[in-house]
């Protein structure tokens, strides 16, 4: 993923993660990659990825289970929104 460093990075990452969810790279019900793993993959700070993940959580695309991690919601890849 090529990031435009002249713009805020976290929204670009959120867009990429949305694309991956919509494409089925991260399937509904599947465990979402850890923030540190995504940060390493994308060569950004974990706090930057955390902002993107928080946005996806706020949109209802992800949910978190304490002690287990984040998961893709069952309807996340559904274009009809539900």
pLDDT at 81 over 50: no
Give 51-75 pLDDT, tens digit per residue: 999 999 999 999 999 999 999 998 7
Residues across the chain: 82
- Among all chains, which residue has been given the structure tokens 């993660």? 17
Q: Using an 8 Å Cβ cutoff, are 53 and 35 in contact?
A: yes
pTM of the model: 0.84
Strand 69-72 with 62-65, pairing: antiparallel
pLDDT at 1: 79
Beta bridge partner(s), residue 71: 31, 63
Give 1-33 pLDDT, tens digit per residue: 788 888 999 999 999 999 999 999 999 999 999
pLDDT at 5: 81
């Amino acid at each position: 993923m090529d990031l435009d460093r002249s713009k805020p990075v976290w929204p670009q990452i959120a867009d990429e993660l949305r694309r991956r969810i919509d494409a089925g790279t991260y399937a509904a019900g599947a465990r979402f990659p850890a923030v540190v793993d995504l940060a390493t993959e994308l060569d950004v700070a974990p706090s930057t990825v955390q902002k993107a993940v928080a946005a996806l959580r706020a949109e209802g695309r992800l949910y978190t289970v304490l002690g287990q991690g984040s998961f893709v919601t069952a309807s996340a890849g559904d274009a009809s929104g539900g």
